[in-house]
Amino acid sequence: MEQVLVALFTMVVGVLGCILYFWGSNIILDLIYPASGKKAANNIRKSSAIRPWLFLGPAIVILSIYLVYPVINSLYLSFRGPAGNEFVGFKNYIWMATDEKFLESFWNNMMWLIIVPAASTIFGLVAAALTDRIRWGNIAKSLIFMPMAISFIGASIIWKFIYDYRGEGSEQIGLLNAVVVYFGGAPQAWITIPVWNSVFLMIILVWIQTGFAMVILSAALRGISEETIEASVLDGANPLQIFFKIKIPQIYGTIAVVWTTITILVLKVFDIVLAMTNGQWGSQVLANYMFDWMFRGHDFGRSAAIALVIMVLVLPVMVWNIRNARKEI
Amino acid sequence: MDGIAGKSPALTWVVNISALLLVLLWTIPTFGLLISSIRDKDQLATSGWWTSLASVERNLIERSSAPDTQVLEAGIYVITGNVFGTEQGDDLGEVTAFGWRSQQPTAFEPNTVAQMNKGLTLSVGRNGDYRLTSPVEFTGSRGKRIFITSIEAPKFTTNNYNEVLFAEGLGRSFLNTMTVTIPATIIPILIAAFAAYALAWMEFPGRSILLVTIVGLLVVPLQMSLIPLLRLYTDIGIGKDYIGIWLAHTGFGLPLAVYLLRNYIAGLPREIIESAKVDGANDYEIFLKIVLPLSFPALASFAIFQFLWVWNDLLIATVFLGNNEEQLVMTGRLREMLGSRGGNWEILTASAFVSIAVPLVVFFSLQRYLVRGLLSGSVKGG
């Protein structure tokens, strides 16, 4: 209980501190440059030049410390030794290029990058198309969307239970093995089978992300102008043709957004692999491998180099986003 | 769109059934977890949750009471009791077979008398009552083994929850998660709201560069920040404390917060803000009295995002918080349990459900805002 009180107290202090800062700094600004008197016009001009920076100050400081500085610092650290003390040139990158586990993580990540966004978007599109046409569509949407609220680690437990394996002959309590046995197959320890185990982990992320894809694509599908659909109906198109030839081409932009958003998420996937296999049985991925070198390997140089690889993979999306944003501004 | 599906009844059926299948596929995993978490732990370990309403057949090895409970009846020594435990079993289960040797654990029907070595006899009734007799006195300190096969009625219990919340320390972790989540949700909103207003409605040099930078920062992987920040924290001396994680979550949440809020605030009608300026209000007053109340939907959307994200986060908590009782959050506890209690599904399922219960409540009650936030954040190109 004491801790909750401390948390509440800190929260109030933090919030009050924020308010005090914004309120106080604005009052002081008005006192220094009052909007009245002889130099009123001059003062207003000065204070409105300063005020934006009062508003932006905390955000700029925090963003610089927590995001901008680390990117630069990581780049620097990736050329340095385990504790960051000495310059080692490209040693960390050379190590990476020859390290078997790194290459395994890299190719696994590539596989994740292709399968997860594709599967989530396709399932999301199917779910959107189906739920938009039924009466209980909103309930169905809610239920498919629900896994998004579940933590990766919670989802991992849910699915580990589904993949649970008992020796042949004893009763299976994992749903997947029970189904396999029911149809006459032999039970498998799914998450220990190399290559395929990655697919079983990907299913978890697809399960979580499909709802997100569905919500956005469903909104896009509803935004399509009725005229194009009516015209195609008059021309005798069947529902499938309407869907694939009329509707889908009109939402390519949204599909791209969904796809890239999930791509970014996939690059950072960490919790699922950590919880399910911790990179054993050939299922390692970059984010978890980086974590491994950071906490178990205690090598900040190598770890930073791995983080940089993730950053480089994200870069094209970042550039694309920025170009889109510039068009809007 | 209804018109298209409505034309053919067959198509309507196909659509409805496919949707139902999809919904089932997506809900069954969570449903299975929920059911499993309220099952008796022995039943959970021996049968699938989808059979939880059916009776369970189990093979058990029990032990009779110790020899010091024997009584002398008409010249023979007798030990009696119930295989299901001390409380006389009524609906605990029904014995369908028993035995006294591990080679033949199901050799005898209930209520028959099994002849054992050295003149001993054993009989077990359907309700589990057993009677062990011997012509000579029982010796030793332990009872005889009794093998039984029993059919048990489905058992549901809240014991699993009691155990994880109080014995396994999940209750404590729940509080720790709260301690992390609430400030880490509120602080970024305040800071972002001011910044978003400045970016939307104030004139200053470098505005568009700042905006573009924030859009760029939206996708910076967290992994980039971990090592530099950990080193920075150690240098400054913050170490592993709550203040460190609040600020970290604030930093990582800010780009999305500023971006979402700016999009919303920039869309507010220009006339409102300009007429207030004409009336002599400065930007601070306009923000506080007009913009902030009008932005409630966007603030709510972001609050839900940030809440879910912080509540469900494992990475940042692992890096910036300690592993001790006072700081271990629920996701961290779950991860620990997966390692130490890997086979104890009654512990894992109940713990997982405790950890997802709050996000699910938030999700279902505030879904409207979540969807709105997603749409304004993604459709525009973030």
Read off the pLDDT of residues B146-164 as tens digits, 9 standing for 90 and up.
888 888 777 788 888 888 8
For A312, the 3-state DSSP assignment is helix
Q: Residue B254 — very low, low, confident or very high, per pLDDT cuts 50/70/90?
A: very high
Question: What gap in Å lies between CA A189 and CA A252, rounded to an integer?
Answer: 40
Q: Tell me the three state secondary structure of residue B82.
A: strand
Starting at the earlier edge strand, list the strands of the sheet with B94-99: B56-63, B145-152, B94-99
The per-residue pLDDT for A180 is 86
CB contact under 8 A, B315 and A271: yes
pLDDT tens profile B305-362: 899 899 999 888 888 887 787 788 888 888 888 888 777 888 888 888 888 889 899 8
Asked if A26 is an interface residue toward chain B (Cβ–Cβ < 8 A), one would say yes
Q: How far is B330 from chain A (nearest CA, A)?
A: 10
pLDDT at B90 (0 to 100): 46
Q: Which residues of B touch A53 (CB under 8 A)?
A: 204
Cβ proximity of B147 and B59 under 8 Å: yes
Check CB contact of B19 with chain A, cutoff 8 Å. yes
Q: Taking CB atoms and an 8 Å cutoff, what residues of chain A touch B54?
A: none
Chain B residues within an 8 Å CB radius of A133: 1-2, 4-5, 12, 15
ipTM more than 0.90?
no
pLDDT number for residue A203:
93
Tell me the two tokens of residue A32. 């220094």
Instruction: Say whether B217 and A67 touch across the interface (CB within 8 A).
Output: yes
Does residue B379 surpass a pLDDT of 50? no
A contact residues 134-193, partner B, Cβ 8 Å cutoff: 134, 137, 140, 142-154, 156-162, 164, 171-175, 178
- pLDDT at site B377: 60
Beta strands in chain A (DSSP E): none
Question: Tokens representing A299?
Answer: 């090598």
Chain B, nearest residue to A57 by Cα: B195
- Residue A274 backbone dihedrals phi, psi, to 5 degrees: -60, -45
Percentage with pLDDT > 70 across chain B: 95
B 39-68 residues with CB below 8 A of A? 44-50
Q: Quick check: B231 and A84 in contact, CB under 8 A? A: yes
What pLDDT score does B128 carry?
77
Q: Has residue B8 got a pLDDT over 60?
A: yes
- Closest by CA position to A318, among listed B200, B379, B196, B212: B212
Mean pLDDT by 10 residues, chain A (329 residues): 72 80 86 78 81 88 91 88 80 86 90 92 91 86 89 90 82 84 84 86 92 88 85 84 86 86 86 86 88 85 89 87 78
- The answer to whether residues B94 and B127 touch, using CB atoms and an 8 Å cutoff, is yes
Residues of A in contact with B9 (CB under 8 A): none
Q: Is A63 on the interface with B (CB under 8 A)?
A: yes
pLDDT at B2 over 60: no
Position B91 scores a pLDDT of 55
Give one DSSP letter per residue of B148-213, joined into a string: EEEEE---B-SHHHHIIIIISSHHHHHHHHHHHHHHHHHHHHHHHHHHHHHHHH---TTHHHHHHH
Question: Do A88 and A299 touch, CB atoms closer than 8 A?
Answer: no
B382 pLDDT band, cuts 50/70/90, is very low
Tell me, what amino acid is at B34? L
Backbone angles phi, psi at B113, to 5 degrees: -110, 125
Share of chain B above pLDDT 90, in %: 5
Q: What is the pLDDT of residue A329?
A: 64
The pair of structure tokens assigned to A256 is: 């791209």
Is B203 in Cβ contact with A47 (below 8 Å)?
no
- The predicted pLDDT at position A3 comes to 67
pLDDT for residue B380:
39
| Better-scored residue on pLDDT, A47 or B254 | B254
The reply to whether A20 touches chain B by the CB within 8 Å rule is no
CB environment A226-237: b (16+ within 10 A), e (fewer): eeebeebbeeeb
Q: Does B250 touch chain A (CB under 8 A)?
A: yes
pLDDT at position B5 over 70: no
Model confidence band, residue B97 (pLDDT cutoffs 50, 70, 90): confident
- How far is it, in rounded angstroms, from Cα A149 to Cα A117? 19
pLDDT category at B73 given cuts 50, 70, 90 is: confident
What is the distance in angstroms between the CA of the first residue and the CA of the last residue of chain A?
A: 48
- Token pair of A169 as six digits: 């002959």
B132/chain A closest Cα distance in angstroms: 31
Work out the widest C-alpha separation in chain B, in whole angstroms: 111
Q: What is the pLDDT of residue B92?
A: 65
CA distance A164 to A63: 43
Instruction: Say yes or no for a CB contact (<8 Å) between A48 and B203.
Output: yes
Residues of A in contact with B15 (CB under 8 A): 130, 133-134
pLDDT tens per residue across span B173-217? 888 888 888 888 888 998 999 899 999 888 888 888 898 888 888
Q: How far apart are the first and last CA of chain B?
A: 29
Sheet containing B113-115: order of strands: B71-73, B76-82, B129-134, B121-124, B113-115
> Phi and psi (nearest 5°) for B323?
-100, 5
Of residues B192, B312, B378, nearest to A152 (C-beta)? B312
The mean predicted confidence, pLDDT, of chain B is 82
Residue A111 near chain B (CB below 8 Å)? no
